[in-house]
Structure 1
Amino acid sequence: MRRYDRLKEILRLDPERDYAEIYRLSSAYEFPWDMARALELALYRTYAVPSIGNLLARTAELTDRAQKRYDDTALLLDAVVEHGFESDDGRTAVRRINQMHRSYDISNDDMRYVLCTFVVMPKRWLDAYGWRQLTGHEQRATANYYRALGRRMGISGIPESWEEFERCLDDYEAAHFGWDEGARRVSDSTLALMASWYPRPLAPAVRGASLALLDDSLLRAFRYDQPRPLVRKAVRGALRLRARAVRLLPPRRAPHFARQNPEIKGYPGYPSGYRVGDLGTFPGKSGSGGPGGQGRSACPVPHGAGD
């Protein structure tokens, strides 16, 4: 295979019909590392919406159990990518996501905004740091993939196209980004989690590099100091150099999914693997339950109506 043969395969597919396969090929073959980073940033920026960041702080999932929450989120989302919406694991993953979200009073607008970050942030990351940019073909498939996920999550008013997803994201952030003390705790905990994946002496540098990748709207919302210009230039330049190196590599012949990422710490600790149905939290229940003994915890915040 040549470097762009996978892209040729993608372009032969129909983004209106084959969106799940296109998204799988892009995520697991073309950009597995970049997609992981982009989706991390997508979820991270949602903390800057106070209604989201404050809820996450009150659940304590991203402050007291950050690695577990990270693992479960990545594994649940990727189960759908790997196995498809209609597979047993895909259906179970969506059901688990819905069970967790419906245990809390989360507005449809916030849910739709989070969905928008999944659509928009990967393209923006790849435009800046990818070995190639997403094609319009892949953008349409990405929008259709998350429209399908959003429908299964019961979200209403889902944007119709990638461009509408982008406008929805930008408008929502302009209207809602702001300071919240709890959200800042969640942000600090997430930065500490990312630093923990590297040797301890590197932790300050990893935190600094992470902050250097944030845009000014996020820095203002969390009240972080502006990174030094030279640090920003060095971090972003290093990512662009990586992209040039990756462009010279042969195409990936085997898929790489989230469960294979080294930053997923819970999965290797499950002696016999994990069951998708045991991932995540089980608000309102107590006891150890789930792999690793951390899956079920009492719900510390008010439930939504009807729960």
Structure 2
Amino acid sequence: MRKRYANLARIRTLDPERDWLEIYQTMLRLEFPWDMKLGLNLAFNRSFSIPAIAAVHTATGELTERTQKRIDDTGLLMYEMVLNGFDQPRGREALRRVNQIHRPHDIPNEDYLYVLGCLVVIPTRWLQRYGWRRPCCHEQRATYLFYRELGRRMGITDIPGSYEEFEVWFDAYDAVHLTPNDDAAAIERATRSLLLGRIPRLLAPLGDELVSAMYDVRLREAIQVAAPSWPVRVGLAVALKGRSWLQRWLGKPRAEGLFTNGIATKSYPNGYEIGQLGPVHPTFRWTTPTDDQAS
């Protein structure tokens, strides 16, 4: 049992103000790999559902017409930054690519801030509810600091000063702006396959209801998805709680971190270059940045 908490013991020896990247990497790669990946998927799903943000994505067609590539590109850019940080070459290149992708769009600061809030709050709440253990204060602080740094390097302003403040801001903004809209419904229909792929084959006939059960009431209303039946909602919660119990008492720490052998995706079976990721805007051509060009 002591070994199960070895990573947590090590995390508690670290200083989240200085070691936030190492702590966040440990959460993703060793402690909660399945839950973190699912939590990030749910975070992006929610961020795409705000009417203003959904309208941008349906206008470009990236999520509704080139769904798999867009999903893969988003994940790859995010994981490159987590795995490499913001100061190593690949992390810097991924960050520069993220900024370049967003530059042609006139996106208000509050919408950027909401997306950042989704990435901070939604995976954390999933871990608090269904993780094999709850994230500790160091992990919660490190999550906030990782995304605060990402936000600063994207030029996002007015970032709340702590996880707790960000959570309060997020809930208030979400309550006002996450409203029913056809663009969000179209995106959810296109991207649902990502979550369906995480459901065991034995439960495939219940797949659509199980995915809907992962959404809360407000999100289901925004994306115009019917509420799942109560047996499915209860069954999913029981199964996830049971999984967390088994992991806590019978599981072992991962011997090898997630993505040790690279990140495999359907869109790039033979590997990828960071410059390939994302849409190709006619207003610019990608070139690999030098260290003094990256930001």
Same fold (TM over 0.5): yes
Distance 1:259 1:215 in 2: 35
The CA deviation at 1:236 is 1.7
Of the three residues 254, 257, 266, the one matched with 1:255 is 257
Q: In structure 2, what is the equivalent of residue 61 of structure 1?
A: 62
The CA deviation at 1:277 is 2.4
Distance 1:203 1:251 in 2: 29
**Structure 2 matches for 1:96-115, cutoff 5 A?**
96-115=97-116
The CA deviation at 1:177 is 1.1
**Structure 2 matches for 1:205-224, cutoff 5 A?**
205-224=206-225
Once the two structures are superposed, residues 163-199 of structure 1 have per-residue CA deviations (whole angstroms, 9 ceiling, x without a partner) of 0110111011111111221221001111134335779
Q: Which amino acid aligns with 1:182?
A: D
Q: Is the 8 A contact 2:99 2:154 kept in 1?
A: yes
Q: Which amino acid aligns with 2:217?
A: D
Q: In structure 2, what is the equivalent of residue 276 of structure 1?
A: 274
Gaps of 5+ in 2: 288-295
The CA deviation at 1:261 is 6.7
The CA deviation at 1:218 is 0.8
Cα distance change on mapping 1:201 and 1:24 into 2, 3 Å: closer
Cα distance change on mapping 1:58 and 1:118 into 2, 3 Å: same
Distance 1:74 1:82 in 2: 12
Q: In structure 2, what is the equivalent of residue 79 of structure 1?
A: 80
**Structure 2 matches for 1:1-307, cutoff 5 A?**
2-195=3-196, 204-247=205-248, 248-257=250-259, 264-267=265-268, 269-270=269-270, 273-284=271-282
Distance 2:50 2:32 in 1: 28
The CA deviation at 1:86 is 0.6
The CA deviation at 1:77 is 0.6
The alignment-based identity, stated in percent, is 43
Q: Which amino acid aligns with 2:128?
A: D
CA RMSD of aligned residues (A): 2.4
The CA deviation at 1:260 is 5.7
Distance 1:209 1:183 in 2: 19
Distance 2:226 2:260 in 1: 32
The CA deviation at 1:256 is 0.1
> TM-score of the superposition, structure 1-length normalised?
0.87
Number of residue-to-residue matches in the alignment: 285
Cα distance change on mapping 1:261 and 1:129 into 2, 3 Å: farther
Secondary structure in 2 matching 1:4: helix
Distance 1:259 1:283 in 2: 31
Q: Is the 8 A contact 2:212 2:226 kept in 1?
A: no
Q: In structure 1, what is the equivalent of residue 293 of structure 2?
A: none
Secondary structure in 1 matching 2:106: coil
Gaps of 5+ in 1: 291-307
Secondary structure in 2 matching 1:64: coil
Distance 2:242 2:201 in 1: 25
Distance 1:197 1:23 in 2: 23
Q: Which amino acid aligns with 1:33?
A: W
Cα distance change on mapping 1:36 and 1:65 into 2, 3 Å: same
Distance 1:197 1:244 in 2: 20
Q: Is the 8 A contact 1:57 1:63 kept in 2?
A: yes
